[in-house]
Structure 1
Amino acid sequence: MSPITTARLTLLPIDLYTYEALFAGSSDLAAHLSIQVPEILSEFGMDIFRYTHGVLADDASEGPWWLYLFIHRAEKVLVGVGGYKGKPDQSGMVEIGYEVYPGYRNQGLATETAQGLIDNAFKHPDVKIVQAHTLAEMNPSVRVLEKCGMRFNDAFDDPNEGPVWQWKVVRPKQ
């Protein structure tokens, strides 16, 4: 599994060894990666880490299509987490999601991260569409996705999130 490099960030795919450090706690993860790590890794809780660890433990080939740690190279600090929600489906679609920690918001890091994930996805010939979801309201994530070339595609009710908007970008024609 290869990291994704952007101007300021390294998006590091979480391998099984890194999951072990992550589950042991922020100080163990910090020592494992030789960076600063916040106490809380996601405002959405630890369930996503447990789920993706299980997926990766069952099939290592899934690794590039799940979670990444967003590391600010100059500051040597973990600034967020996110990635893909699985391998491309039969239509060639992958979905991205991202979370930048509060102290690092409004610095363009979410846009840099989302664009890095999109660009990386389109390096794979079977990926035709990258999509994302936001809450159904104008918010910073909407602006991030628009800056990355995503366009509004649909609105619907998600059983967990309520009303959401779907965004997508199609592979550029070669």
Structure 2
Amino acid sequence: MVAKMVIETENLRLVPCDAQLLKMAIKGNKQLSKFLGVSLADQWTTFGVDALQYALDQILARPGELGWWTYFPIHKLDNTLIGSGGYKGSPTEDGTVELGYEIASGYCNRGLATEMARGLIMKAFMDNRVKSILAHTLAQSNASTTVLAKCGFTKIEEVESTEDGLIWKWELIRP
């Protein structure tokens, strides 16, 4: 883990996952907790092991993309891993990255998802290649759409997904 890539916000420390950290997360909660030296919130991830394995495969295939995949949000006061988030790879040729995030239910409705998203947005826009950030949500008002709206995203399109049905596509353009 490269210390300079950690994103600090008021209540969170967003730890970028390298291959070793992702392997620990895939092994299980006990190993991950010990490796990070933190507690884990109940059901800290709904994305699951498949998403972690996918990120690991991408980092191993393209080590230069380290920092453009998974981040683990550690709640500073509780020293607890409370979710996951990050990007779906480094900026594309046209300068877009896609953002995703999740917060354990016991930590919802405290502004932490918004805080995590803002930290990830700030990190992305520190890279001059990034012109816009995309995100996708289910096609209904929910906690995630509220987070994106608070962060300045605009709903730009409705898209049919083979996995999720109708989804909304959101965009935040570099200020």
Provide the TM-score with structure 1 as the length reference: 0.95
Deviates more, 1:144-153 or 1:50-59: 50-59
Unaligned runs of 5+ in 1: none
Report whether the alignment pairs 1:105 with 2:108.
yes
Question: Equivalent residue of 2:128, what SS?
Answer: coil
Corresponding position of 1:8 = 11
**Number of the residue aligned with 1:156:** 159
* Alignment partner, residue 145 of structure 1: 148
Amino acid of the structure 2 residue aligned with 1:94? V
Taking the aligned partners of 2:50 and 2:42, their CA distance within structure 1 comes to 16
Which residue is equivalent to 2:171?
168
Matched with 1:66 is 69
2:98 aligns with one of 95, 99, 102: 95
> Equivalent residue for 2:60?
57
2:139 equivalent to 1:136: yes
How much does 1:24 deviate?
2.1
State the SS of the aligned residue for 1:46: helix
Structure 2 unpaired stretches of 5+: none
Cα shift at 1:109: 0.3
SS of 1:21's partner is helix
> Using a 3 Å threshold, how does the CA distance of structure 1 residues 5 and 94 change in structure 2: closer, same or farther?
same
- SS of structure 2 residue aligned to 1:114: helix
- 2:85 aligns to what? 82
The answer on whether the counterparts of 1:93 and 1:127 sit within 8 Å (CA) in structure 2 is yes
Aligned length: 172
Residues of 2 paired with 1:168 and 1:116: CA distance?
16
Give the share of equivalent positions with the same residue, in percent: 38
Contact 1:26 1:38 survives alignment (8 Å): no
User: 2 CA distance for matches of 1:91 and 1:73?
Assistant: 36
Q: Shift of the alpha carbon at 1:40?
A: 4.0
Q: Counterparts of 2:21 and 2:30 in 1: how far apart (Å)? A: 12
